[in-house]
Chain A
Amino acid sequence: MNWTGILSDGVRAGLGINAAIYALAAVGLNVQFGYAGLWNFGQAGFLLVGGYGTAIAVSSWGLWLPWAVLVGIAASILLGLLLGVPTLRLRGDYLAIVTIAAAEILRIVVNSTKVQSVTGGPQGIGGFANWFFDHNPIARGRYGFGTITYDQRQLWVTLVTWVLVALASVLVALLVHSPWGRVVRAIREDEDAVRSLGKNVYSYKMQALLLGGAIGGVAGIMLVFDQQFIQPDLFQSAITFYAFAALILGGTARILGPILGAIAFWFLVEGADSFLGNAVDHNFLGVGHLVDPTQIGTFRFVLVGLVIMLLVIFRPQGFLGSRQEVMLGEQ
């Protein structure tokens, strides 16, 4: 068994582009779910709209990429408005149902051949992110330490995404530690109490939904930048659930929760992948009899799921959350 290899595969992924994109998506969910208590099960839809908004603005309208990025963000804010207006006055579960359905519908719509001239249908769109990579200041080469290295292209997109994670987190930190954040956290506890104090609960819930959705849109934009390509399959519902897993792993309603959670999540996923690959090769603990090499991609999620289950049982607040807050429901 190559234990250092397994570890470095895990670390490479934990610091890599996927972890950064999921961290961003989870920061958005943290605003919505962690602080405001909104059940957005369609974060994948916000990523999709951000990504497609940007790609289409470049490919169809010929916009300069930085403007196209703003179009993508505006599109995810618009999606938030469309989903929030009819649901945010209703009980929380309505938002959950509507967001998950919207994310699926969006994926089917952009896949449709009827809109192929705009979205590229199943073939998708490419080549819209050239401006981004043309402005890569990092010289050609491999960067990193030990066996954990990234080429100049990966490093550029990964660094930019982590910087965006940091910026989004600073903004969220400033907001939640303000009177605005106090209202939003109070809404999570009891909307009626907040209403009785003269706060427009609907408006605050909308603001939280839109802010979290816009951050999700940025995550989608970085996702398609990294791929230099956009197609419907990039926006499976699994994105939403992985981002939730990262958030819960790290701890909800904590600024660093989604970041630490996303790092841990991708460390676990790629670490488990590498571990299973090794274990199958070396028939470690008889794993070779249980799993054959073609099943590793699926089986690793069984391991990750097991780890998350154990965490929820023994540390329900995640790495950073407050046990007291999580246990309030018990009373």
Chain B
Amino acid sequence: MSNSSDAVPDPILVVESVVRRFDGLVAVSVDHLAVHRHTITALIGPNGAGKTTLFNVLTGFDRADAGSWKFDGVDVSGWPAYRLARQGMVRTFQLTKALAGLTVLDNMLLGASGQSGERIVVAPFRFRWRAEERATHERALALLDDFGLSARQRDLAATLSGGQRKLLEMARALMVEPKLVMLDEPMAGVNPALVQSLLHHVQRLRDEGRTVVFVEHDMDVVMSISDRVVCMAEGRVIADGTPEEVVDNQAVVDAYLGQRHARAR
């Protein structure tokens, strides 16, 4: 299968009629949304459009008031967050959740799934999990290297800068070996040079056969790496298509991009 958006549609995630209300406010009301396998999809939209809320609902961190969604052919609506993550759908948070009291390396090791040493009956017997731990360790170091954090592996995550925490959180999510990575504003607060390397990473994830959905406000970033763009406003999907289609869409210009951006194109 090719990586481009005009490939035969093969959705890894299909959302149907998902609604989330807070008191009177309809934060999310998505009739239909499909995320295609092996693509990078950008989710854009003004502040308060419901992007994070949709992430929360789909990944089991919030409940939906109505609707259903399928991941990799399985109806996963209402599943708890940990089961969705095990199933291969892993997200990061807009407000970074680095585990401040753990070292950078421990943050990474925690990400690996299916560790036998995480079971209480096996844990006291080091010889039962030592080899596995060593392999996890190697994988973690390789990823930290990729993300430019290997020099900080022994430091508490609390000592990292905001941008470094973003990087750590993304690297940690990759330790889970997800099929679908959902990144909520991964570039926010990361310096321009690092943004380039992060973009490179995101593209590599796709090339490795994973699928990426990311929320982003920087349109240059969105245009440079996305295969598809979805725009939300007031809880609804108002546009869904190739990057070019979406930025030229009048509803998107009105609700989000503004006239200046439209003229510039």
Spell out A's residues near B (CB within 8 Å).
171, 174-175, 178-183, 185-186, 188-190, 192-201, 207, 211, 324-325, 328, 331
B101:A174 contact, CB within 8 angstroms: no
Given contacts A190-B99, A196-B91, A197-B111, contact A180 B176 (CB under 8 A): no
Spell out B's residues near A (CB within 8 Å).
59-61, 80-83, 85-86, 90-93, 97-102, 106-107, 109-111, 113, 115, 117-120, 122-126, 129, 133, 156, 158, 169, 172-173, 175-176
Give min CB distance, A250 to chain B, whole Å: 19
Give min CB distance, B160 to chain A, whole Å: 11
9 pairs of A and B residues whose beta carbons are closest in the complex: A198-B85, A179-B117, A180-B123, A178-B123, A193-B97, A174-B124, A195-B81, A189-B99, A198-B86
Complex interface: chain A residues within 8 A of B100 (CB): 189, 328, 331
Complex interface: chain B residues within 8 A of A188 (CB): 101
A178:B102 contact, CB within 8 angstroms: no
Give min CB distance, A85 to chain B, whole Å: 16
Q: Is the interface of A mostly helix, strand, loop or mixed?
A: helix
Give min CB distance, A324 to chain B, whole Å: 7
Given contacts A178-B123, A186-B110, A331-B100, contact A200 B158 (CB under 8 A): no
Complex interface: chain A residues within 8 A of B97 (CB): 190, 192-193, 196
Given contacts A178-B129, A180-B118, A183-B110, contact A192 B93 (CB under 8 A): yes
A175:B124 contact, CB within 8 angstroms: yes
Give min CB distance, A171 to chain B, whole Å: 6
Given contacts A179-B129, A183-B110, A186-B99, contact A198 B82 (CB under 8 A): yes
B120:A328 contact, CB within 8 angstroms: no
Complex interface: chain A residues within 8 A of B115 (CB): 179
B101:A185 contact, CB within 8 angstroms: yes
Complex interface: chain B residues within 8 A of A186 (CB): 99, 102, 106-107, 110
* Given A189-B99, A198-B82, 4 additional A-B pairs, CB 8 A: A174-B126, A193-B93, A196-B97, A324-B156
Q: Which residue of the partner chain A has the closest CB to B175?
A: A197
> What are 10 A-B pairs with beta-carbon distances under 8 A?
A178-B124, A182-B118, A195-B61, A196-B97, A199-B82, A324-B158, A328-B100, A328-B156, A328-B158, A331-B100
Q: Which residue of the partner chain A has the closest CB to B172?
A: A197
Q: Which residue of the partner chain A has the closest CB to B106?
A: A182
Cα distance, A239 to B79, chains bound together (Å): 41
Q: Which residue of the partner chain B has the closest CB to A173?
A: B124
Complex interface: chain B residues within 8 A of A193 (CB): 93, 97-99, 169
Given contacts A174-B126, A195-B81, A197-B172, contact A180 B119 (CB under 8 A): yes
A197:B118 contact, CB within 8 angstroms: no
B92:A196 contact, CB within 8 angstroms: yes
Complex interface: chain A residues within 8 A of B99 (CB): 186, 189-190, 193-194
Cα distance, A192 to B156, chains bound together (Å): 19
Q: Which residue of the partner chain B has the closest CB to A200?
A: B82
Given contacts A197-B85, A198-B90, contact A180 B172 (CB under 8 A): no
Complex interface: chain B residues within 8 A of A174 (CB): 123-126
A196:B59 contact, CB within 8 angstroms: yes
Given contacts A196-B81, A331-B158, contact A171 B86 (CB under 8 A): no
Give min CB distance, B132 to chain A, whole Å: 9
Cα distance, A198 to B175, chains bound together (Å): 11
Cα distance, A186 to B107, chains bound together (Å): 8
Q: Which residue of the partner chain B has the closest CB to A324?
A: B156
Cα distance, A188 to B101, chains bound together (Å): 9
Given contacts A175-B124, A186-B99, contact A197 B176 (CB under 8 A): yes
Give min CB distance, A30 to chain B, whole Å: 15
Complex interface: chain A residues within 8 A of B60 (CB): 195
Cα distance, A324 to B93, chains bound together (Å): 25
